[in-house]
């Protein structure tokens, strides 16, 4: 017994020595040489080297060491996948052999690519990505910065903060300069007033005027059209014009419009509530209720020199700044719950609606409620707009549905008494730019006066101590050039400041090292890394001070991380990390079919996405087990989502923890509407997307990338198939089966969730209704009757889930791909995390404390 143990240990020791001595390689098992011998080498040998490919020699390496090796094997994989090889008239491999071969090879190639891409722990210096740039600029300037003109950050296989994937182009640098200029100019226009302006607006007069006008116009044109048609029947020689209608085509429209819209307008004007406020409708008469924050007129009295008075109109313009928008609103009696939501947004130049928030309205007419939203107003978002929760397509569809039933719009449910806006409000924050601008008087500053101001700004913006004189001298030169062409001091400073904000010291997160040797980060660098990890922005003053004092370590570091996790900026991290980690991009890949899912509009979609972020936040805040992301007895939702899930007793817009009834299918990522919607195409569910997502994100067994050139199962495409039938079809062909046998059963187990995430028991295929059979078995795993048992299986896989989470969070936090050469680190973290109750909160702390996090390689 003892002896045996000894031998075993010794054996392992030898192996590990051997692998260390050898260069890195991914080894393909020699047993597969038989596959090549059986099906390939008849043509690909020394004599008959078809396509210049030779697979027969012992020299054909089964160890993938270089890009070339990988490409060779990729070539083989592609040929077999596309059914090109072996050729049709040659011996074909048995299905089971082919499945095994393809499964092995596609897996090995993923490993090989990972090995060959491995950075060996190096973190490439990187520029700020688009969102970090925006956040950082906004913190510095105190205004909202429009960074949409910057190109997308290109991430082909890792997070958007991986330096190896962040490129720069000439166009981009010009954009940086332009964005900086216009943002600084915008900031200079920003004002705070000690006594903010306030306007309350009673909208009914204007609204009724508009509705009345169209109401009578529809009627007039209709009467004209009827009279014209009558005249035609009577054989009179008259033109549409004689009846006030432009031409013949218009006759048809006049009748059509009257039939479709008139009753809705008529109804509106008859409703007594329209005399005291605005009634929202789904499309007609009022879908969008807009008001512009621009200016107001006052009559003021001016005293003349001779002592008499005169009245004068004084126009006050609302400057850019922070405003509060308020409205007094009520819900009409007997309104269905899904129609109690009011969207607030603004109309942009292209006249499209940009949603800012969705309010739930619960107050009755007898006692309306006041809703309030803070908005930073600039030149682009001044046309504020309320509408009943909808998007154009769902409003259109709902209107048509109601019209078909009742001949007019559905009865209104939301009433707005008045709206009010107040601002610009004083702000507690004093951004760096305002501090800098405050130092520049209206009188021209000499170069020795402006120098310390520019230097101070540059030093703070560059997140490091020293700025060289030669650089500031150049900036002063710029400033003086600007003055010399006649600009005022405050205008002349814009260009040098914009240059600072476009310089590489600002745009790049540099951790300078002279050689390729690793070194400890300075305290300041550590603060920066930490801050871009947890806030996606630069360190605040407090963090800078702690770092400057050299105290950012041990317990204080821990406390700072806690503080940062509590700060609202942590949502930058939660949103951007989770979005990329879970692949939420897909949620916005397609429009949902409004006819099939009229409630799944932009507002609801946004709420489903927010549910994921708020759940992660709760898991962090309450130091919960990450297993709760797989299965839990609670959800984190608001009223809008509660309504979607059919959970009662939740009122209000804020997300909160709601305990679920027993046996609920909610609780856990796989029961969240956003995840389920991502596993669809907006029209039908996609069991393949869902299954692949679970494998990729939860079970940490990512299927290899969908291979190119696989022939479609085209004989089936014309048929409406159930998920189960598709699953069966995928088993027919080896090149499909080797992945789909793992993917499809999981997807089928989730079939009781519709594309919008609601629960269903039946599915319509063509005109037939089928009962869904969600039963199945995990590949080489247990069988399940349906979703609840599937979720039990999923939730038993916390270890796999955490491994994926750890790897991806490491990659995000340290801006490089983790994987191939980091297995030991990941193993260690995984064990430790388990001992620490699988807490994500713990994991974040632990990553920050890692040596890797504190060194530059």
Partner 1 sequence: MNRRHFLKGIGTTLALPHMLSLHGEEKKSTQMNNMIFLSFGWGVTKETWFPNVKDTGANYKLPEGLKPLARHKKDFSLVLGTEHKFNSGGHWGSTVFLTGANRYAVPGKSFSNTISVDQVAAEKWGANHRFSSLQFDCDNAGQSGHGPGLSLSWNKNGKPLAGLRDPFLVYHKLFGNEKMSIDEKKNLIRRQGSSLDAVLMDVGSMKRKLNPQDKDKLDEYLESVREIEQQLAREKAWIGKPKPKAPFKEPKRGLKGYKEIKLMYDLMVAALQTNTTRVISYRQPVESLLKSLDVDISSHNMSHYGKGSRLPVSKLRDQKQSELLAYLLDKLKATKNSEGVSLFDKTTLTYGSNISNSHNIRNCPVIIAGNGQNLNLGQHIAMPKRTPLCNLWLSLLEANGLSQQKFGDSSGLIEQVLA
* Residues in region 417-476 near partner 1 by CB under 8 A: 468, 470-471, 474-475
> Of residues 31, 91, 157, 406, which one binds partner 1 by CB under 8 A?
157
> Of residues 28, 40, 64, 70, which one binds partner 1 by CB under 8 A?
70
DSSP string spanning 462-482?
A: TTSS---HHHHHHHHHHHHHH
Spatial distance between the Cα atoms of 753 and 48, rounded to a whole number of angstroms? 55
Shortest Å distance, C-beta 490 to partner 1 = 17
Quick check: 170 binds partner 1 (CB under 8 A)? yes
- Closest-CA residue to 411 (of 359, 358, 334, 337): 334
Q: What's CA 761's distance to the chain center, in Å?
A: 31
Shortest Å distance, C-beta 483 to partner 1 = 12
**Over 267-319, what HEC string results?**
HHHHCHHHHCCEECCCCCCCCCEEEECCEEEEEEEEECCCCCEEEEEEEEECC
Spatial distance between the Cα atoms of 214 and 220, rounded to a whole number of angstroms? 10
Quick check: 828 binds partner 1 (CB under 8 A)? no
Span of 160-168, 381-389, 560-568, 606-614 interacting with partner 1 by CB under 8 A: 160-168
Span of 72-80, 200-208, 303-311, 726-734 interacting with partner 1 by CB under 8 A: 72-80
Quick check: 125 binds partner 1 (CB under 8 A)? yes
Quick check: 158 binds partner 1 (CB under 8 A)? yes
Shortest Å distance, C-beta 107 to partner 1 = 15
- Enumerate residues 6+ apart whose C-beta is below 8 A from 635: 611, 615, 641, 645, 647, 657, 658, 660, 666, 667, 672
Half-sphere exposure of residue 857: CA atoms within 13 angstroms, side-chain side: 12
Quick check: 408 binds partner 1 (CB under 8 A)? no
Shortest Å distance, C-beta 727 to partner 1 = 17
Quick check: 485 binds partner 1 (CB under 8 A)? yes
Shortest Å distance, C-beta 72 to partner 1 = 11
- Enumerate residues 6+ apart whose C-beta is below 8 A from 796: none
Quick check: 513 binds partner 1 (CB under 8 A)? yes
Quick check: 495 binds partner 1 (CB under 8 A)? yes
Spatial distance between the Cα atoms of 89 and 91, rounded to a whole number of angstroms? 7
Quick check: 231 binds partner 1 (CB under 8 A)? no
Q: What does the per-residue mask of binding to partner 1 show for 339-368, with x meaning CB under 8 A?
A: -----------x------------------
Spatial distance between the Cα atoms of 168 and 500, rounded to a whole number of angstroms? 17
Taking the least distance from each CB to partner 1, the nearer of 506 and 645 is 506
Residues in binding contact with partner 1, number by CB under 8 A: 86
> Of residues 56, 103, 343, 482, which one binds partner 1 by CB under 8 A?
482
Taking the least distance from each CB to partner 1, the nearer of 174 and 239 is 174
> Of residues 512, 646, 702, 782, which one binds partner 1 by CB under 8 A?
512
- Closest-CA residue to 150 (of 124, 178, 126): 178
Quick check: 765 binds partner 1 (CB under 8 A)? no
Quick check: 515 binds partner 1 (CB under 8 A)? yes
What is the C-alpha radius of gyration for the chain, rounded to an integer number of angstroms?
33
Quick check: 545 binds partner 1 (CB under 8 A)? no
Report residue 261 as tokens.
Answer: 């819209």
Taking the least distance from each CB to partner 1, the nearer of 398 and 631 is 398
Spatial distance between the Cα atoms of 533 and 847, rounded to a whole number of angstroms? 11
Spatial distance between the Cα atoms of 648 and 29, rounded to a whole number of angstroms? 57
- State the DSSP code for 374: E
Within positions 94 to 113, which residues make up the interface with partner 1, using CB under 8 A? Answer: 113
Spatial distance between the Cα atoms of 83 and 736, rounded to a whole number of angstroms? 11
Taking the least distance from each CB to partner 1, the nearer of 555 and 717 is 717
Cα dihedral value 402, 407, 413, 419, nearest 10: 110
Quick check: 411 binds partner 1 (CB under 8 A)? no
Segment (H or E) for 232 = helix 204-233
Within positions 591 to 620, which residues make up the interface with partner 1, using CB under 8 A? Answer: 591, 593
Cα distances from 492 to residues 55, 265, 441, 444, 500, in angstroms, run 71, 56, 12, 10, 14
Taking the least distance from each CB to partner 1, the nearer of 472 and 572 is 472
Taking the least distance from each CB to partner 1, the nearer of 242 and 473 is 473
**Are the C-beta atoms of residues 665 and 671 closer than 8 Å to each other?**
yes
Quick check: 722 binds partner 1 (CB under 8 A)? no
Quick check: 88 binds partner 1 (CB under 8 A)? no
> Of residues 21, 29, 156, 465, which one binds partner 1 by CB under 8 A?
156
> Of residues 245, 332, 414, 507, which one binds partner 1 by CB under 8 A?
507
Shortest Å distance, C-beta 709 to partner 1 = 5
Taking the least distance from each CB to partner 1, the nearer of 174 and 406 is 174
- State the DSSP code for 165: G
Q: What's the length of the chain?
A: 857
**Are the C-beta atoms of residues 824 and 818 closer than 8 Å to each other?**
no
Quick check: 766 binds partner 1 (CB under 8 A)? no
> Of residues 48, 94, 122, 559, which one binds partner 1 by CB under 8 A?
122
Taking the least distance from each CB to partner 1, the nearer of 135 and 158 is 158
Quick check: 714 binds partner 1 (CB under 8 A)? yes
Quick check: 80 binds partner 1 (CB under 8 A)? no
Shortest Å distance, C-beta 259 to partner 1 = 23
Q: What does the per-residue mask of binding to partner 1 show for 616-645, with x meaning CB under 8 A?
A: ------------------------------
**Are the C-beta atoms of residues 762 and 770 closer than 8 Å to each other?**
yes
Segment (H or E) for 510 = none
Residue position matching structure tokens 């008469």 = 285
DSSP string spanning 50-99?
A: GGG----STTS-SEE-SHHHHHHHHHHHHHHHTT-SS-TTSPPPPHHHHH
Shortest Å distance, C-beta 123 to partner 1 = 9
> Of residues 25, 401, 510, 778, which one binds partner 1 by CB under 8 A?
510
> Of residues 426, 705, 782, 828, which one binds partner 1 by CB under 8 A?
705
> Of residues 681, 789, 800, 846, which one binds partner 1 by CB under 8 A?
681
Spatial distance between the Cα atoms of 692 and 736, rounded to a whole number of angstroms? 13
Within positions 19 to 58, which residues make up the interface with partner 1, using CB under 8 A? Answer: 51
Within positions 803 to 822, which residues make up the interface with partner 1, using CB under 8 A? Answer: 817
Taking the least distance from each CB to partner 1, the nearer of 253 and 508 is 508
**Could you tell me where the DSSP H helices lie in 582-686?**
602-621, 639-645, 673-678
Span of 233-241, 293-301, 497-505, 794-802 interacting with partner 1 by CB under 8 A: 497-505
Residue position matching structure tokens 């929202």 = 280
Residue position matching structure tokens 């821990």 = 558
Quick check: 117 binds partner 1 (CB under 8 A)? yes
Shortest Å distance, C-beta 678 to partner 1 = 13
Q: What does the per-residue mask of binding to partner 1 show for 134-153, with x meaning CB under 8 A?
A: -----------------xx-
Quick check: 572 binds partner 1 (CB under 8 A)? no
Shortest Å distance, C-beta 154 to partner 1 = 5
- Closest-CA residue to 650 (of 333, 362, 342): 362
Quick check: 680 binds partner 1 (CB under 8 A)? no
Report residue 15 as tokens.
Answer: 């192996």
SS3 384: strand
> Of residues 478, 607, 635, 636, which one binds partner 1 by CB under 8 A?
478
SS3 652: coil
Cα dihedral value 68, 73, 74, 79, nearest 10: 130
């Amino acid at each position: 017994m003892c002896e045996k143990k000894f031998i075993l240990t010794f054996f392992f020791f030898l192996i590990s020595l051997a692998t260390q001595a050898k260069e890195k390689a991914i080894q393909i098992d020699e047993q597969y040489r038989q596959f090549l011998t059986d099906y390939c080498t008849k043509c690909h040998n020394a004599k008959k080297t078809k396509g210049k490919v030779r697979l027969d020699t012992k020299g054909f390496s089964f160890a993938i060491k270089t890009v070339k090796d990988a490409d060779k094997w990729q070539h083989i994989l592609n040929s077999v996948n596309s059914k090109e090889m072996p050729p049709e008239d040659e011996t074909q491999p048995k299905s089971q052999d082919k499945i095994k071969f393809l499964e092995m090879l596609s897996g090995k190639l993923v490993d090989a690519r990972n090995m060959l891409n491995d950075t060996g722990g190096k973190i490439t210096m990187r520029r700020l990505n688009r969102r970090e740039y925006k956040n950082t600029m906004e913190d510095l300037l105190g205004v909202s910065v429009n960074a949409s003109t910057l190109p997308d950050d290109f991430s082909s296989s890792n997070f958007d903060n991986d330096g190896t994937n962040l490129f720069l182009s000439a166009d981009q640098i010009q954009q940086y300069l332009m964005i900086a200029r216009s943002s600084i100019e915008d900031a200079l226009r920003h004002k705070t007033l000690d006594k903010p302006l306030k306007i309350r607006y009673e909208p009914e007069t204007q609204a009724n005027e508009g509705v009345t006008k169209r109401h009578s116009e529809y009627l007039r044109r209709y009467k004209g059209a009827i009279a014209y048609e009558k005249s035609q029947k009577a054989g009179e020689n008259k033109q549409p014009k004689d009846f006030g209608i432009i031409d013949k085509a218009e006759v048809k429209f006049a009748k059509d419009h009257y039939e479709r819209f008139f009753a809705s307008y008529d109804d509106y004007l008859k409703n007594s509530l329209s005399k005291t406020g605005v009634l929202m409708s789904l499309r007609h008469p009022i879908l969008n209720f807009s008001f512009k924050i621009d200016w107001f007129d006052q009559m003021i009295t001016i005293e003349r020199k001779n002592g008499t008075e005169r009245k004068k109109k004084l126009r006050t313009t609302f400057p850019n700044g922070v405003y509060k928008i308020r409205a007094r609103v009520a819900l009409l009696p007997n309104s269905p719950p899904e129609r109690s939501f009011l969207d607030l947004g603004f109309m942009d130049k292209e006249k499209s609606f940009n949603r800012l928030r969705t309010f739930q309205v619960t107050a009755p007419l007898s006692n309306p409620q006041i809703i309030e939203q803070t908005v930073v107003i600039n030149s682009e978002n001044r046309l504020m707009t309320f509408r009943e929760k909808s998007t154009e397509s769902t409003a259109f569809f709902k209107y048509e549905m109601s019209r078909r039933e009742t001949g007019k719009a559905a009865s209104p449910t939301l009433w707005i008494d008045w709206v009010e806006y107040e601002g610009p409000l004083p702000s507690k924050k004093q951004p760096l730019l305002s501090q800098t601008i405050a130092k520049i008087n209206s009188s021209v500053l000499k170069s020795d006066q402006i120098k310390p101001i520019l230097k101070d700004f540059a030093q703070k913006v560059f997140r490091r101590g020293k700025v060289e004189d030669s650089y500031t001298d150049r900036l002063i030169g710029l400033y003086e050039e600007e003055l010399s062409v006649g600009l005022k001091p405050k205008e002349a400073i814009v260009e040098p400041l914009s240059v600072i904000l476009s310089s590489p010291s600002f745009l790049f997160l540099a951790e300078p090292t002279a050689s390729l040797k690793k070194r400890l980060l300075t305290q300041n660098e550590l603060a920066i890394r930490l801050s871009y990890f947890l806030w996606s922005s630069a360190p605040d003053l407090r963090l800078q001070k702690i770092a400057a004092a050299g105290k950012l370590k041990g317990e204080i570091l821990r406390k700072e991380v806690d503080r940062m996790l509590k700060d609202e900026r942590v949502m930058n991290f939660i949103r951007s990390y989770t979005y990329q980690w879970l692949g939420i991009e897909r949620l916005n890949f397609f429009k949902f079919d409004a006819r099939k899912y009229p409630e799944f509009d932009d507002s609801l979609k946004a709420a489903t996405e927010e549910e994921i972020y708020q759940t992660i936040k709760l898991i962090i805040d309450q130091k919960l087990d990450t297993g709760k992301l797989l299965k839990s007895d609670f959800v984190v939702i608001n009223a809008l989502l509660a309504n979607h899930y059919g959970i009662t007793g939740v009122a209000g817009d804020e997300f909160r923890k709601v305990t679920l009834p027993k046996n609920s299918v909610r609780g856990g990522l796989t029961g969240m509407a956003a995840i389920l919607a991502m596993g669809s195409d907006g029209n039908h569910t996609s069991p393949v997307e869902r299954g692949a997502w679970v494998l990729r994100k939860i079970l940490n067994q990512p299927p290899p990338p969908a291979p190119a050139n696989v022939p479609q199962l085209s004989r089936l495409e014309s048929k409406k198939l159930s998920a189960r039938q598709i699953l069966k079809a995928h088993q027919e062909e080896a090149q499909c089966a080797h992945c789909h046998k793992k993917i499809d059963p999981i997807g089928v187990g989730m079939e009781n969730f519709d594309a919008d995430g609601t629960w269903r028991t039946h599915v319509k295929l063509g005109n037939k209704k089928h009962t869904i059979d969600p039963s199945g078995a995990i590949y080489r795993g247990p069988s399940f009757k349906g979703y609840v048992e599937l979720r039990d299986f999923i939730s038993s896989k916390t270890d796999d889930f955490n491994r994926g989470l750890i790897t991806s969070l490491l990659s995000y936090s340290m801006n490089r791909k983790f994987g191939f050469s980091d297995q030991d680190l990941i193993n260690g973290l995984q064990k430790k995390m388990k001992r620490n109750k699988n807490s994500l909160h713990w994991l974040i702390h632990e990553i920050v404390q890692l040596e890797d996090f504190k060194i530059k390689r």
